[in-house]
Amino acid sequence: MSIKNALASVPVKDLTSAVHWYERLFARSADSRQTELAEWRFEAGGGLQVYQSAERAGSGAFTLTVNSLAEQLTNFKKCGLDAGRPMIGEKVKVVMIKDPDSNSIAFAEAIEPMPETRISSLVRAYFSAYERKDRLALDGLLHDDFMFGSPHDPHLDRVAYFERCWPNSQNTNAFAIQKLVEGDGEAFVLYECEPKEGAPFSNTEYFRVVGDKVSEVRVFYGSLANEA
């Protein structure tokens, strides 16, 4: 069996008043109307059926995908609706509203992934080398004049860095990059480290890149972001 499309349906107490509300929300009339049912069809396929069922009204929930959540929020204001602030995840932005019968409606906009850049690739490769315990790979990522700094070791050159810091790779299971913000030849990375023993912890690191090599890393113990 190959499923080609989907159709959402939502129960309301009074179809006539519900249709008026949805027409304002969608800024257009229903594509079809029957005695106890109205249907809207959408450009990419699928549709929404609003049907009269007083005993089930308020039990419906569905999601509508949109190209621009900002435009949809503007339309909400025109309809006198307050959707609040969008919930933003890694792949989607969502706002939730309810119709007059308390059916839940989610409007979702997909977040296009940012293209992987040279700096991002180097940063991710740096942490990957630690996870894989691959010193040769890390050595190939670092500039000849590489410098490292942290509160405990403020000025380490390349040789001292491998002597002091690389042994910590044996104590690390994984890194989870939570935020990576880059500018002109530099980046800040917020990550969570999962050690082999003990509780996970967050750090922030600054990277400077020259050419295709990491020339400087500075560690700030603890998170610089507001994680409240």
Residue 186 sits in the same domain as residue 148: yes
Residue 97 sits in the same domain as residue 145: no
Residue 14 sits in the same domain as residue 36: yes
Nearest residue to 186 (alpha-carbon basis) of 117, 138, 125, 127: 117
Per-residue model confidence as pLDDT tens for the chain (228 residues): 677 788 999 999 999 999 999 999 999 999 999 999 999 999 878 899 999 999 999 999 999 999 888 888 888 888 888 888 888 887 899 999 999 999 999 999 988 765 668 899 999 999 999 999 999 999 999 999 999 999 888 899 999 999 999 999 999 999 999 999 998 899 999 999 999 999 999 999 999 999 899 999 999 986 554 444
Domain membership of residue 97 (yes or no) is yes
Domain membership of residue 2 (yes or no) is no
Residue 44 sits in the same domain as residue 94: yes
pLDDT at 94: 93
Burial of 94 (0-12, 13-18, 19+ CB in 10 A): middle
The domain boundary residue, chosen from 75, 110, 145? 110
Domain membership of residue 227 (yes or no) is no
Q: Count up the domains in the chain and report the number.
A: 2
Residue 19 sits in the same domain as residue 97: yes
**Antiparallel, parallel or unpaired: β 92-98 and 104-110:** antiparallel
Residue range of the domain that includes 56: 7-110
DSSP helix/strand/coil, 81:
coil
CATH number at residue 80: 3.10.180.10
Residue 97 sits in the same domain as residue 154: no
Domain membership of residue 21 (yes or no) is yes
